[in-house]
Amino acid sequence: MKNFCFLLCLVIVSCQQSKVQNKVAEQIAAPSDPHSYSRPEQALVKHLDLQLNVNFGSKTIDGKAEWQIDNPAKADTIVFDTRQLKIIKVTVGDAQKRASFNLSKEDPVLGQALKVKIDSTVKKVTIWYRTSPDAYALQWLNPAQTAGKKHPFLFTQSQAILARTWIPCQDSPGIRFTYNAAVKVPGSLLALMSAENPQQLSADGKYTFKQSNPIPAYLMALAVGNIRFKAIDARTGVYAEPQTLEKAAYEFADMGKMVNAAESLYGPYRWGRYDVLVPPPSFPFGGMENPMLTFATPTVLAGDRSLVSLIAHELAHSWSGNLVTNATWNDFWLNEGFTTYIERRIIEAVYGKEEAAMQIVLGARYLNETIERMGNQRDLTRLKLDLKGKDPDDGMNDIAYEKGFFFLKTVENAVGREEFDAFLKAYFEQNAFKSITTERFISYLDRNLLSRQPKLRADIKTGDWVYKAGLPSNMPVVSSEKLDKVDTLVNGLSKGVKFSDIKKQISSLNEKVYFIKSLPDSITAQQMKDIDRLFAFTESTNSEIQFEWYMLALKHDYKAAHPYIEKFISSVGRRKFVIPLYTQMASTPQGKLWAARIYAKARPGYHPVAYQTIDEILK
Ligand SMILES: [Zn+2]
């Protein structure tokens, strides 16, 4: 099967726009997911009734997953994904008749297949299980690792293939199910899920949840902690520890406006409420688009609303990702490229064209840097990936986001914004609650947009964008007035422009970040000191500035920043920041020793998806 699929991919590359290609694309539109053991074409899950008992003492969850299933092929087995789970017993039917099951040999990435014997009459499979204390999706924080220091905290991160470490499930983005859950936690804590959520503590620590839209397993989420709720408007609000709650509510005050802006572009928001949870700083990502309840890193609480594009991004996933989903992780760009595009449209609608333009120019900068850095891994700079045999997290870098964005921007430029908006709106409507492959999208695009004017195909070069490495020749040229001005100022440094002149002329976050990124390689530690005296970047509390400045400080051995770098990476677990910083530190023998010393203390505060990578960097 592997070779067969490989050949089909080659066919697609060589005759992108032909009818033959459309035919081929349809044939492989329902591929088997290389990252799931499940066999949905034989027997698949439809609905989950989940019971969880959360034990902070043992760092385990006792679970009972009652799956309603479909068995169109009258298969004698249904297959679930599991990893690090202790399976206690499995039954079938309402009468809970013991079922025979077996677990396959452990694969280091995929975990174990749980194969349960069924017959054609079985409609329900129930699995009793316990999670492992080091389950990869779960981060158990002791009270000292929280803002309040008094209560423990638990949160999950299921994407890409970690849901299986806390729920036995068919863990493929191509398989959707609805769920209800009943969760028991210690009495003083609030529990939240990617579902309709409570806004107040219960007296007995028992909570119930309902997600009536079908979602894939990677969107299963749970958080438990000393969490409070504050409404922003009728359908949006924030959850956080009491110490962080007001700050979060201030920072995210525009959430309602963002939902309205997205709806007016891409059709109704279909999930009921849109709330955001701010977990403690060890949260490994910027945000996670858990339906109805985005998880967002506290590193975006800058105090001046300068980093709220993260919320626009996670909200955008309510259309691209959560509503129309990548069928496998090889199609990840369908989630992230579309989301980055929509994010910037929301930013433009709420904050204006220039703000969006600056983010687009910075995006192009990041994209070029990533492509350069990945020189020896050119395969990973294609939009359509081949991650079979690899951990899908390996495919998750800027490419899916930024190259995906610039592909869609190319289409927008070619067909005109009005037509592209109408196309996208119809795309979300027609594919709602479905999972989609790259090939199916290309064929949809061709049928519904490009076939009207054959010249568009040549202008857009879909095949080059999707299947070739690097950037195509028609990469859009982008500019922003404010960042062009920064370019002029930085170029003037060798001709008499002073840092103090620059200080007078730039004020926004994007300008400052772009300024730091544009400083010449020849910059000296003394010049960094001069800049710092004017801008106080070392002592900034804005995480994006801190990150860019600290990277520069490491490259140019600007020692005044070292204690601040140490503090930053000891208190923040966001991969986007800590992984490049540790990598840069480890580039010299002395720096590596320093990094190892910090890491020894900081590691317990990081989520497994962060520390697994850093373990590799520092080994
Ligand atoms: Zn995203």
CATH topology of domain 227-318: Zincin-like (3.30.2010)
The rounded Å distance from CA 432 to ligand 1 centre is 18
Least Cα distance to 466 among 326, 333, 325 occurs for 333
The rounded Å distance from CA 364 to ligand 1 centre is 17
The rounded Å distance from CA 287 to ligand 1 centre is 7
Q: Judge whether 544 counts as a catalytic residue.
A: no
SS (HEC) of 572-598: CCCHHHHHHHHHHHCCCHHHHHHHHHH
- pLDDT tens across 211-237, in order? 999 999 999 999 999 999 999 999 999
- pLDDT tens across 383-413, in order? 999 999 999 987 678 899 999 999 999 999 9
Least Cα distance to 335 among 313, 358, 357 occurs for 313
The rounded Å distance from CA 605 to ligand 1 centre is 23
The rounded Å distance from CA 246 to ligand 1 centre is 25
- 75: pLDDT strictly greater than 60: yes
Q: Which CATH superfamily is domain 333-467 in?
A: Neutral Protease Domain 2 (1.10.390.10)
Looking only at the bridges linking them, the beta strands covering 124-130 and 138-141 are unpaired
Write down the catalytic residue from 401, 427, 444, 599: 401
The rounded Å distance from CA 339 to ligand 1 centre is 6
- pLDDT tens across 139-187, in order? 999 998 899 999 999 999 999 999 999 999 999 999 999 999 999 999 9
Write down the catalytic residue from 66, 251, 289, 314: 314
For residues 309-324, average pLDDT: 98
d(CA 111, CA 272): 34
For residues 255-263, average pLDDT: 98
For residues 576-603, average pLDDT: 96
- What pLDDT was estimated at residue 396? 73
- 44: pLDDT strictly greater than 60: yes
- What pLDDT was estimated at residue 230? 98
The rounded Å distance from CA 100 to ligand 1 centre is 40
The rounded Å distance from CA 343 to ligand 1 centre is 9
d(CA 164, CA 323): 21
With 0-12 / 13-18 / 19 or more C-beta atoms within 10 angstroms meaning exposed / middle / buried, residue 619 is exposed
For residues 504-520, average pLDDT: 97
- 593: pLDDT strictly greater than 90: yes
Q: Judge whether 401 counts as a catalytic residue.
A: yes
Q: Say yes or no: domain 42-141+148-218 is CATH 2.40.37.10.
A: no
- 482: pLDDT strictly greater than 90: yes
The rounded Å distance from CA 55 to ligand 1 centre is 31
For residues 589-610, average pLDDT: 94
For residues 60-84, average pLDDT: 97
- pLDDT tens across 402-456, in order? 999 999 999 999 999 999 999 999 999 999 999 999 999 999 999 999 998 889 9
The rounded Å distance from CA 310 to ligand 1 centre is 9
The rounded Å distance from CA 579 to ligand 1 centre is 18
DSSP classification of residue 129: E
Every domain of the chain and the residues it spans: 42-141+148-218, 227-318, 333-467, 483-618
- What pLDDT was estimated at residue 271? 98
Q: Is the dihedral of CA 527, 533, 535, 537 positive or negative?
A: positive
The rounded Å distance from CA 477 to ligand 1 centre is 24
pTM of the model: 0.93
- What pLDDT was estimated at residue 31? 58
Least Cα distance to 260 among 242, 240, 274, 241 occurs for 274
pLDDT bin (cut points 50, 70, 90) of residue 609 is confident
- What pLDDT was estimated at residue 375? 83
- 26: pLDDT strictly greater than 90: no
Average pLDDT of the chain, as a whole number? 93
Are the beta carbons of 126 and 90 closer than 8 angstroms?
yes
Looking only at the bridges linking them, the beta strands covering 153-156 and 138-141 are antiparallel
Instruction: Please name the residues in contact with 614: beta carbons below 8 A apart, sequence gap of 6 or more.
Output: 578, 579, 582, 599, 603, 606
Q: Distance between alpha carbon 43 and the CA centroid of its chain, in Å?
A: 29
Percent of the chain having pLDDT more than 70? 95
The architecture that CATH gives domain 483-618 is Alpha Horseshoe (1.25)
Looking only at the bridges linking them, the beta strands covering 153-156 and 236-240 are unpaired
The rounded Å distance from CA 172 to ligand 1 centre is 17
For residues 325-337, average pLDDT: 97
- pLDDT tens across 524-542, in order? 999 999 999 999 999 999 9
